[in-house]
Amino acid sequence: MTKKRAASRDGETPFWRQKTLAQMTDAEWESLCDGCGKCCLNKIEVITTGKFLYTSVACRLLDQQACRCTDYANRTKRVKGCVALTPRNVGRLKWMPSTCAYRLIHEGKDLPEWHPLVSGDPESVHEAGISVRGKVVSETEVDEIADFIVKWAK
């Protein structure tokens, strides 16, 4: 895996270009989350192909405006199937969005311009149309999840 070593605007090389995911501090790790909310969408795995169908149905714990979990510390206890992302499992989670910073860094890619760590603005992910803000419904409002399959969520 190769990493770009370009300097940031202030001349310093950002931590995500210097470290592997496993080398990051907890604060650095958490700051990689861009707040898009895509990982909190319900997905349907097609058993015969191993592929995932993405839906516009959000986990009941997702704050749809902030695109953040309302009970982050307890999410894996409260939501069956919720996965705590780690440096060890990020490469195995094929359903992670292609825009996800954890996935991008794991694949040796750089963060996009709209990522809050690059832009300096936590709203940039929403302004760029990357987040699920205004595009999803809560799983508490859905009877048949298959009616909400979308292509944009990947």
Q: What is the number of structural domains in the chain?
A: 1
5 is a domain residue: no
Any domain includes 12: no
Tell me whether residue 91 is in a domain: yes
pLDDT of 10: 60
What are the residues facing 62 on neighbouring strands?
69
Q: Tens place of pLDDT for every residue, the chain, 154 residues?
A: 333 334 455 668 999 999 999 999 999 999 999 999 999 999 999 999 989 999 999 999 999 999 999 999 999 999 999 999 999 999 999 999 999 999 999 999 999 999 999 999 999 999 999 999 999 999 999 999 999 999 865 4
Note whether 110 and 104 are within 8 A (CB): yes
E strand segments, 24-145: 41-46, 51-58, 62-63, 68-69, 137-138
The DSSP bridge partners found for residue 45 are: 52
Q: How far apart are CA 29 and CA 49, in angstroms?
A: 32
The pLDDT value recorded for residue 39 is 93
Does 134 reside within a domain? yes
Domain-embedded: residue 10 = no
How long a stretch of residues is the chain? 154
pLDDT value at residue 5: 37
- Say which amino acid occupies 105: I
What are the start-end ranges of the H helices in the chain? 15-18, 26-31, 75-78, 101-106, 116-119, 124-127
Taking the alpha carbons of 31, 81, 69, 144 in that order, is the dihedral positive or negative?
A: positive
Residue 97 counted as domain residue: yes
Alpha carbon distance, N-terminus to C-terminus of the chain: 23
Residue 4 has a pLDDT of: 39
**Which residues constitute the domain of residue 23?**
19-150
